[in-house]
């Protein structure tokens, strides 16, 4: 079945450093979504990418969807302590609504 | 408006007992999902309801797990004869079609502890 792999599992950075998490699917995706889960909280939707090669930005966050629609990345520029949390990618294979989540990347930021 | 709600927020049960977890989705959302999240782990898909279609049960880990949904409203996840490995946070999410994709809204989860 469809698998979504995400790396790294953990990332510890100094405040102000950049951060990137990568997501790879075993199958071609119709779209990919990114969620953030703060410690003790539940996942919250950040963004979705639908088109091949799509790039979207939200302030310091840049999201990319690969040309083959099988991989994606989230890059945070100049991390802040408010960026702490676990970032999940989630892929949808056939627009049926079923999402398969990656294992998440836990980001910690040292002030 | 109201978000996804789940009850109870915490449940401690003895091994071998049955538990029932409840999810109230956002009104009007046709899709409803259950996930399991073990401590420090990712989200494990359990089951997916979409309108009146047959649910996708492909993620249920064993026949001790079952879920029901009445129409496009409340859903219950039942775990029979609980085991210690069932201890986790059980998250429910609901969504509706935006025209391009389904954006999921998560509830706060039910933390299940099996002793």
Question: For residue B36, how many C-alpha atoms fall within 13 Å in the half-sphere facing its CB?
Answer: 18
Pairing mode, if any, of strands A55-58 and A71-76? unpaired
Phi, psi at residue B51, to the nearest 5°? 55, -130
- Rounded to a whole number of angstroms, the distance from the CA of A111 to the nearest CA of chain B is 23
Check residue A99 and give its pLDDT: 86
CB B13 within 8 A of CB B112: yes
Residue B1 has pLDDT above 70, yes or no: no
Q: Which of A100, A38, A36, A94 is nearest to A63 (CA)?
A: A36
Interface of A with B (CB under 8 A): 1, 6, 30-31, 33, 35, 41-45, 48, 50, 88, 90, 92, 95-104, 106
Average pLDDT in the A72-92 region?
96
Q: How many CB pairs under 8 A join A and B?
A: 62
**Interval B12-49: pLDDT, tens:** 999 999 999 999 999 989 899 999 999 888 899 999 99
**Interval A29-65: pLDDT, tens:** 999 999 999 998 999 999 999 999 999 999 999 999 9
CB B100 within 8 A of CB B50: no
Check residue A95 and give its pLDDT: 64
Residue B102 has pLDDT above 90, yes or no: no
User: What is the distance between the alpha carbons of residues B9 and B12, in angstroms, rounded to a whole number?
Assistant: 10
**SS3 for A81?**
helix
**Interval B41-100: pLDDT, tens:** 889 999 999 888 889 999 999 999 999 998 878 999 999 999 999 999 999 999 887 776
DSSP per-residue string spanning B25-56: PPTT--EEEEEEE-TT--PEEEEEEETTSPPB
Q: Which of A78, A68, A69, A70 is nearest to A18 (CA)?
A: A78
**SS3 for A111?**
coil
Residue B9 has pLDDT above 70, yes or no: yes
Interface probe, candidates A5, A7, A97, A101, chain B, greatest B C-beta count within 10 A: A97
């Amino acid at each position: 079945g469809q698998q979504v792999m995400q790396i790294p599992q953990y990332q510890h950075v100094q405040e102000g450093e950049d951060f990137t998490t990568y997501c790879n699917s075993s199958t071609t995706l119709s779209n990919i979504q990114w969620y953030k889960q703060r410690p003790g909280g539940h996942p919250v939707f950040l963004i979705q990418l639908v088109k091949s090669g799509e790039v979207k930005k939200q302030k310091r966050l840049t999201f990319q969807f690969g040309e083959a629609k099988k991989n994606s990345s989230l890059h945070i520029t100049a991390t802040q302590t408010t960026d702490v949390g676990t970032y999940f990618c989630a892929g949808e294979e056939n627009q049926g609504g079923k999402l398969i989540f990656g294992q998440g990347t836990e980001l910690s930021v040292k002030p | 408006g109201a978000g996804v709600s789940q009850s109870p927020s915490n449940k401690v049960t003895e091994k071998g007992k049955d538990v029932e977890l409840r999810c109230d989705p956002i009104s009007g959302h046709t899709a409803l999902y259950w996930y399991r999240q073990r401590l420090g782990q990712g989200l494990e898909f359990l089951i997916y309801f979409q309108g009146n279609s047959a649910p996708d049960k492909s993620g249920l880990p064993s026949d001790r797990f079952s879920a029901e949904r009445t129409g496009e409203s409340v859903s219950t996840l039942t775990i029979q004869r609980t085991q210690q490995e069932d201890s986790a946070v059980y998250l429910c999410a609901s969504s509706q079609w935006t025209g391009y994709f389904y954006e999921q809204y998560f509830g706060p989860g039910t933390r299940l502890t099996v002793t």
